[in-house]
A = this chain, B = another copy of it.
Amino acid sequence: MYSFMNDYSEGAHPRILELLIKSNLEQNSGYGEDIHTEKAKDYLKKHIGKIDVDIHLIPGGTQTNLLVISSFLRPHQCVIAAATGHVNVHETGAIEATGHKVVAMPCAEGKLTPAAIQAALDAHSDEHMVQPKMVYISNTTELGTIYTKAELSAIHNICRKNKLILFLDGARLGSALTCKENDLELSDIAELTDVFYIGGTKNGALLGEALIICREDLREDFRYLIKQRGALMAKGFVLGIEFEALFQDNLYFELGEHANEMAAKIADTLKECGYGFYATPGTNQLFPIFKNKLLEQLSKEFIYSVQAKIDEENSAVRFVTSWATTKKSVDALCDFLYDRKGEVC
């Protein structure tokens, strides 16, 4: 039975594994002060097109989110996020556990807008309320949608105007930057945000996210904060090796592209068959709407998750593809869907 459950079901891309094996018996410095981490940072800076950034490799995404938010805010300050945002819904209160409120704004297709940010600002006017100081967005969003350059620029502008730190969670940035509708480059993101990360876990690494601190005044003492949150790996060179392999050439982007292609095939079939969508498809997460009856059969052949109940008879399902998704499994899913196109709701 093939799983479209998520993009972290398999291990690492073979080229990462090869480099891990090759350097296994080297003696490297601990805590990310090794030569591989150094190389990874250099490659990343080349891809970003900017040398004046601080880069830290962090084991996981929730860790990165809580680290960034708790490090850059003072105690009375909050972060604005989409109500569907990972930090608001899926991190067991990790942000609040560091002392900060997530001000959650309703929004369409998982995307925060300048209007929603302005509404949050307007609602927080004096010292009896938390003070908005950061905006959290993710690209791709929790619903697989992306920000265009125009949209990101507009968010950048309202943040700049109101002295809000703009933080972009790029756990799925590989898929975002290689999808058809994308018009952003890494260098744009480095210009338009104050801090962002490039996710490894969901794009071919065993673990690891590359955090890029663009704004200079946010960089001080950051390694202390990594250590305090338990995110300074003793064998930090493992993260270094992974990102070295991903960015010494274009591997990272090739993996994102593959995931998107696999998803696009499924999306095309879904559209062709007339199935509806809970969120606009475009990247490696798809949210088709199926009759519950269809789900019973689907469950016998594929692994996936249910995103939301639409009504008594229909549900939104989530399919995720990855660097490791095989053409064969995609064909099998497409065949399954095509065969049941009469059951479209």
- List chain A positions with a Cβ less than 8 A from chain B: 2-3, 5-6, 8-12, 14, 17, 20-21, 23-30, 59-67, 70-71, 74-76, 78, 89-94, 96-102, 127-131, 201-202, 206-207, 221, 223-235, 237-238, 303, 324
**Interface SS majority for chain A:** loop
- A223 close to B127 (CB less than 8 A): yes
Measured CB to CB, the nearest residue on chain B to A9 is: B27
- A96 close to B94 (CB less than 8 A): no
Q: Nearest Cβ in chain B — how far from A270, in angstroms? A: 22
Contact A228-B10, Cβ < 8 Å, known A59-B59, A97-B99, A238-B207? no
- B25 close to A10 (CB less than 8 A): yes
Given contacts A62-B232, A92-B224, A201-B235, 12 further A-B contacts (CB under 8 A): A5-B29, A8-B235, A10-B26, A10-B28, A20-B206, A66-B230, A74-B221, A75-B98, A76-B228, A90-B128, A90-B129, A96-B99
Residues of B within 8 A of A67 (CB): 230
A207 to B229, CA, bound (A): 16
Measured CB to CB, the nearest residue on chain B to A26 is: B10
Residues of B within 8 A of A89 (CB): 129
